[in-house]
């Protein structure tokens, strides 16, 4: 029995909701990012991609930058107990480093790894159990893009641990959400005394567009292509049906942000069938598979301030390609 993993599933990831989101993704030609983490194969592809290209894996200074942020975040608060909520936990490596630091400082930690992928949550849980006991790990499968009750969901945990300090992590996730969607949800989740520790991919150098162009190869590569194409192959598209292209585009909501987007352009007509729904894709039609915003520290601060989120401290890598920000909510 000790080997059992008890995982909570939020209604945003119930089968009927997932099916509805899939139909909507194909109808609008804009794929919900969660469908790139849906299977064990996709999870393993993403983990391999992260290992190969993430600065936190390939850049010693980036790893040290995270460690500095962990030390500052772990020093916050007065309670002996800290509840770490890992939104978009991925493989859980960063959260686990933070948990280990909390333990070394003599504080007791409870961890909620949360991700849209059940497989990813289980990976994060397994990593975290090297630091904390099973009874203090509460995995949650949840789609942040459609879950509008996060405050209530995590509020129940606060009832169980009323005196615990609460630290929300959000590593590498902000680039993959429209700011007007995710920032209000993060703001609503934070309460008095909570801290938010998140990272953002940055465009290096003084020229914003040139900085985005510089990091384009981190996306336009074989591992990323294979990972993104897995979704299309699984719904019946063939590699020979078109070509995957990466572009730099302005944010359609006009907030001065640039993002890298991946589009598959069909070179011939293709019909996709999902349950009773038929989707006809014409020659030269495009479907957006992915996007990732690139920020600057100034743009980050401006966006957060619009949602009453204040940067208390920040750590920028020497390469200027990644930043970590510790925030609280203004009253």
Could you report the per-residue pLDDT of 12-32, keeping only the tens digit for each? 999 999 999 999 999 999 999
pLDDT at 1: 43
Same domain, 66 and 164: yes
Q: Are 164 and 269 in a shared domain?
A: no
Do 41 and 171 belong together in one domain?
yes
Report yes or no on 303 lying in a domain: no
Pair (237, 317) in one structural domain:
no
Give the pLDDT confidence score for residue 310 in this predicted structure. 95
**Distance separating alpha carbons of residues 14 and 306, to the nearest angstrom:** 32
* Same domain membership, residue 223 and residue 117: no
How far apart are alpha carbons 245 and 286 in whole angstroms? Answer: 10
Residue 35 shares a structural domain with residue 135: yes
- Give me the CATH number covering residue 53: 3.40.50.150
Residue 212 lies in a domain: no
Are 187 and 255 part of one and the same domain? no
Q: Is the pLDDT of residue 272 over 90?
A: yes
CB atoms within 10 A of CB 140: 23
* Tokens at 73, concatenated: 């975040």
| Residue 58 belongs to domain spanning | 8-205+308-329
Give the integer Cα–Cα distance in Å for 236 and 272: 6
| 159 and 20 fall within a common domain | yes
**160-173 pLDDT tens trace:** 666 789 999 999 99
User: For residues 30 and 118, what is the distance between their CA atoms, to the nearest angstrom?
Assistant: 22
The encoded tokens of residue 220 equal 């336009």
- Are 46 and 89 in the same domain? yes
pLDDT band of residue 152 (cuts 50, 70, 90) is confident
As for how many domains the chain has, the answer is 2
User: Is there a single domain that holds both residue 253 and residue 157?
Assistant: no
Asked if 324 and 258 sit in the same domain, the reply is no
What is the mean pLDDT of the segment spanning 138-157? Answer: 86
233 in the same domain as 139: no
Higher pLDDT pick, 154 / 112: 112
**pLDDT tens digits, 200-214:** 999 999 999 999 999
What percent of the chain clears pLDDT 70, i.e. is strictly above it? 97
């Amino acid at each position: 029995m000790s080997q059992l993993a008890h995982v909570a599933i939020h209604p945003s990831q119930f089968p009927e909701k997932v099916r509805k989101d899939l139909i909507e993704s194909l109808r609008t030609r804009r794929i919900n990012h969660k469908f790139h983490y849906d299977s064990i194969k996709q999870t393993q592809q993403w983990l391999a991609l992260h290992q190969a290209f993430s600065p936190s894996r390939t850049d010693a200074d980036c790893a040290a930058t995270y460690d500095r942020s962990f030390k500052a975040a772990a020093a916050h608060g007065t309670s002996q107990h800290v509840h770490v909520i890992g939104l978009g936990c991925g493989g859980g490596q960063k959260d686990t480093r933070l948990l280990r630091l909390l333990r070394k400082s003599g504080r007791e930690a409870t961890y909620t790894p949360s991700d849209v992928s059940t497989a990813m949550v289980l990976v994060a849980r397994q990593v975290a159990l090297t630091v904390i006991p099973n009874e203090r790990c509460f995995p949650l499968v949840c789609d942040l893009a459609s879950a509008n009750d996060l405050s209530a969901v995590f509020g129940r945990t606060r009832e169980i641990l009323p005196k615990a300090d609460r630290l929300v992590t959000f590593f590498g996730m902000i680039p993959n959400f429209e700011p007007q969607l995710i920032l209000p949800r993060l703001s609503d989740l934070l309460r008095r005394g909570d801290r938010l520790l998140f990272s953002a991919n940055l465009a290096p150098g003084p020229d914003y567009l040139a900085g985005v162009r510089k990091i384009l190869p981190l996306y336009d590569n074989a591992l990323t292509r294979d990972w993104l194409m897995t979704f299309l192959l699984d719904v019946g598209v063939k590699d020979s049906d078109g070509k995957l292209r990466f572009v730099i585009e302005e944010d359609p909501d006009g907030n001065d942000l640039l993002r890298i987007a991946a589009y598959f352009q069909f070179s011939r007509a293709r019909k996709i069938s999902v349950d009773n729904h038929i989707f006809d894709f014409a020659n030269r039609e495009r479907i957006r598979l992915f996007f990732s915003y690139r920020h600057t520290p100034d743009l980050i601060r401006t966006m957060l301030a619009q949602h009453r989120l204040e940067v208390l401290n920040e750590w920028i890598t020497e390469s200027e390609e990644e930043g970590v920000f510790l925030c609280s909510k203004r009253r």
